[in-house]
A = this chain, B = another copy of it.
């Protein structure tokens, strides 16, 4: 089923076995899952994935779950790629697409990481998992932990989206609201992990959620008939999505399934929390901790990502870029996208609409390029961003 062969440190290259739980490398670097790609090349036809039951586990050869019975699924993955004709025309792009991750369980792309992360945790016999979260990952991991029968401890900022709090609560996770940012929640969880021996599933401290997010890249490649689009824009907080997509594309190239040059990967952040944009512009290898991080797009309010150096490397090697947008542009974009494309999306995803507009205007993106906006979640999780003003009428009123 899986061609998973070992874990490898993204910094020093040290290898780890696949049979026991691992977090970071001794050197502090995140571990990446490696597969026997030579064997997959020999044994697997890329057209087989389409013939299987829908959902991300149809890419099982490129995922780390060894026994099918450990799969924990709520129907995640295989989200639609929609042609955004009207929006594209307004901007000037003939081939603009939106991949809508809002149609995942719990309403965000976080379901992908949770599905693979919890499946592998079940396979490894892990009993309790702990994680800090901006909100949506906590919601997603709570759902999958409930399904898997694994205990989950979550810490999230007190001002996390209400719905993420409600999710963690109703799914039965042990949940704490922290008077601070995700970085503060991370410190609290790290202490708990040390004290109680919980498995730490913080972003990139756990090697498997990248694999779940990688399937976004596999789906995009398959959607374009195993060719690459020209550019992918991604709202970047912890950056695991962009790392996952980059990893998918590397694997596809090594497998010889795609020979094109990889798409330009474009990290989009908010002006109020822009460490990757800054590091990209200043040409540094890693980012600086962003003080006073503040944006309405809470999912990308990550002051310093553990995998920042991988994100920056992926952007540069793919000839991409990093762009920041204002919160006011996010709000305008939310409205524009709803009215032109019938999509009510999350504020993180809405950053992409403002960003793609800028990149077309500067000439970085050309009118006939195939451009994919990766919307990470549904607007249903952010009801506070819409203030409806509607007339109230009597039952015998005429309209």
Contacts and interface: CB of A to CB of B under 8 A. Distances in A.
A79 interface: yes
B75 A79 contact: yes
A270 to B, nearest CB: 20
Given A104-B103, A188-B399, A398-B191, A177 B392 contact: yes
Given A104-B103, A399-B191, A74 B338 contact: no
A304 B389 CA distance: 30
Contacts of A166: 344, 383, 386, 388
Interface stretch (A20-28, A140-148, A288-296): A140-148
Interface in A356-381: 378-381
Contacts of A149: 86
B339 A393 contact: no
A158 to B, nearest CB: 6
Given A147-B341, A170-B334, A334-B170, A399 B54 contact: no
B340 A146 contact: yes
* Most B-side CB within 10 Å, residue of A106, A342, A379, A394: A342
A197 interface: no
A169 interface: yes
A180 B394 CA distance: 8
A163 B392 contact: no
Nearest to A172: B339
Count of identical protomers in the assembly: 2
A179 interface: yes
Contact of A171 (B51, B338, B393): B338
A179 B344 contact: no
A100 B75 contact: yes
Given A170-B334, A391-B177, A342 B380 contact: no
Nearest to A149: B86
Nearest to A223: B53
Given A82-B75, A103-B103, A146-B339, A393 B177 contact: yes
Interface residues of A, number: 78
Interface string A138-167: 000011111111000101001000110111
Given A107-B380, A386-B170, A188 B393 contact: yes
A342 B165 contact: no
Interface in A96-116: 100, 102-107
Interface string A98-136: 001011111100000000000000000000000000000
A343 B172 contact: no
A396 to B, nearest CB: 8
A163 B343 contact: no
B392 A192 contact: no
Contact of A143 (B75, B344, B392): B344
Interface in A54-104: 54-55, 73-75, 78-80, 82, 86, 100, 102-104
A279 interface: no
A397 interface: yes
A227 interface: no
A217 to B, nearest CB: 18
B338 A146 contact: yes
A309 interface: no
A175 B399 CA distance: 10
A180 B338 CA distance: 28
B175 A390 contact: yes
Nearest to A391: B176
Q: Across chains A and B, which 8 residue pairs bring their CB atoms closest together, nearest first?
A: A75-B80, A147-B342, A169-B388, A180-B395, A166-B386, A143-B342, A184-B395, A146-B342
